[in-house]
Structure 1
Amino acid sequence: MRRLLRNIALALFIVLVAGPVVTVILYRFIPPPVTPLMVIRAVEGRGLDHRWRSIDKVAPALPRALIAAEDSRFCEHHGFDFNALQKAYANNEAGKKIRGGSTISQQTAKNVFLWPGRSYIRKGLEAWFTVLIEVLWGKERIMEVYLNSIEFGSGIYGAQAAAQRYFGVDADQLTQAQASRLAAILPSPLKWKVIKPGKYVARRTQKIGKASGAVRRTGLAECVG
């Protein structure tokens, strides 16, 4: 029985501690080749268009737009924005439109290492991976991986694939308007359209464009170059 318990404890340590730490360290230096969501969508028949681009080959307009749209305190927090979580909770409790409070760090952890879902187990693992990437990667690498793992449409992942598919340019040629349009379809890239968007996405694009200017002026994206 003691040997069995030791073996179970060792297995849990490898799965929950050693394995994630080794994987995160590995991805600090090499691009994650594929994510669970990419595999799931490919099995669903949506295809897979994913082309890695280093952050210095992505127009600064896109990180600014994503910070403006998704996580204005990205450079300030350590993986979790508790103010945003409180606002999201209050908003949802009031019966308003469901609003998430996940940071870009949390979204990166979820996108790269985990499966879609809302279970407590998955959320717990997301928190653990978020801590790991904040400690072992740093902000610039988190943003770089995020830029390359975001789902921007059916079978479209990352800045380069999205820039090519929607605008016929490389990621380093994206304008602020184009970057704002890409950010505007998050977090519903399979529902909202980049090309010929509806009124909601068009309004959201304008709002993100203005907020991106504020991000640039106030230095809220300085941690990503």
Structure 2
Amino acid sequence: MRRFALILMSLIVAAVVALAALMAAYRFVPPVSTLMLARWATGEPVTRDYVPLAQISRNLQAAVVASEDAKFCRHDGVDWDALMEVMEEADEDGPSRGASTIPMQTVKNLFLWPWRTAARKAFEIALALALDFVWPKRRILEAYLNVAEWGDGLFGAEAAARRYFGRAASELDARQAALLAVSLPNPRRRDPARPSRFMSSRAATIQARMREADLSCVK
């Protein structure tokens, strides 16, 4: 039993060290997501062209913040008010939504498994707090926009902009950016180039919110 406990402790320490090393490395080099790694491991194609935040339209930055995390510039990695609200609304089947911030989604994409579990959410919160502490907001948003999935095997804003609209991410207009933001919660079923009535309506709402999106921390 003692030997098992020592082995388990060693594995936990090794995992923490590995995560810390990856977090430090990804601060300076283009990160890859666990979904991208899984596709490469199984021989499936990955389309992604990493670009710095300066080459991603301010429209898309505003659209994603307005849609995914309105308090991005004001929280410490976790929107505690939204998280508490979700927990209070939860029933016996668990929360109906995740209250995930952009830092939380970034650490999920970079370090964690895709399926939802209580353990993953706990790790997500802890890692998001760490990420927000050691990375500037600008780097977090840049990494997120370069690893987010926008279709089957399609990752990052540049690849998505070229696939759906035939232009660079830097050239996206407000509506195109809003449609890309709308597709993020379900990227394999929502096609920004052929939006449904729901997508178009949701994109119009996001466009209105983009005007008030707080991007002060990523100037």
TM-score, length of structure 1 as denominator length: 0.87
Are 1:30 and 2:24 matched, yes or no?
Answer: no
Distance 1:60 1:94, change over 3 A: farther
Distance 1:94 1:212, change over 3 A: farther
Gaps of 5+ in 1: none
Q: What's the C-alpha RMSD, in Å, of the aligned pairs? A: 2.5
73-82 or 115-124, which deviates more: 115-124
Distance 1:188 1:91, change over 3 A: farther
Q: 1:167 Cα deviation (Å)?
A: 0.8
- 1:106-130 CA distance string (max 9 Å, x none): 0000011111011233222222321
Distance in structure 1 (CA, Å) of the matches to 2:2 and 2:89: 49
Are 1:117 and 2:115 matched, yes or no?
Answer: yes
Distance 1:4 1:190, change over 3 A: closer
Question: 1:129: which partner in 2?
Answer: 127
Question: 1:13: which partner in 2?
Answer: 13
Letter in 2 for 1:79: G
> Does structure 2 retain, via aligned residues, the 8 Å contact 1:51–1:158?
yes
Distance in structure 2 (CA, Å) of the matches to 1:50 and 1:175: 21
Q: 1:53 Cα deviation (Å)?
A: 0.4
Within 5 Å, which residues of 2 pair with 1:28-177? 28-32=27-31, 34-41=32-39, 47-93=45-91, 98-177=96-175
Question: 2:217: which partner in 1?
Answer: 223
Distance in structure 2 (CA, Å) of the matches to 1:5 and 1:185: 45
Distance in structure 2 (CA, Å) of the matches to 1:42 and 1:222: 36
> Does structure 2 retain, via aligned residues, the 8 Å contact 1:51–1:160?
yes
Distance in structure 2 (CA, Å) of the matches to 1:41 and 1:83: 36
Distance in structure 2 (CA, Å) of the matches to 1:94 and 1:177: 39
Which secondary structure does the structure 2 equivalent of 1:193 belong to? coil
Distance 1:11 1:31, change over 3 A: same
- How many pairs were matched up? 218
Q: 1:93 Cα deviation (Å)?
A: 4.0
Distance in structure 2 (CA, Å) of the matches to 1:125 and 1:90: 20
Letter in 2 for 1:214: E
Distance in structure 2 (CA, Å) of the matches to 1:8 and 1:41: 29
Letter in 1 for 2:189: K
Gaps of 5+ in 2: none
Distance 1:44 1:26, change over 3 A: closer
Question: 1:194: which partner in 2?
Answer: 192
Q: 1:141 Cα deviation (Å)?
A: 0.6
**What is the aligned-residue identity percentage?**
35
Q: 1:183 Cα deviation (Å)?
A: 0.3
> Does structure 2 retain, via aligned residues, the 8 Å contact 1:36–1:112?
yes
Distance in structure 1 (CA, Å) of the matches to 2:40 and 2:205: 33
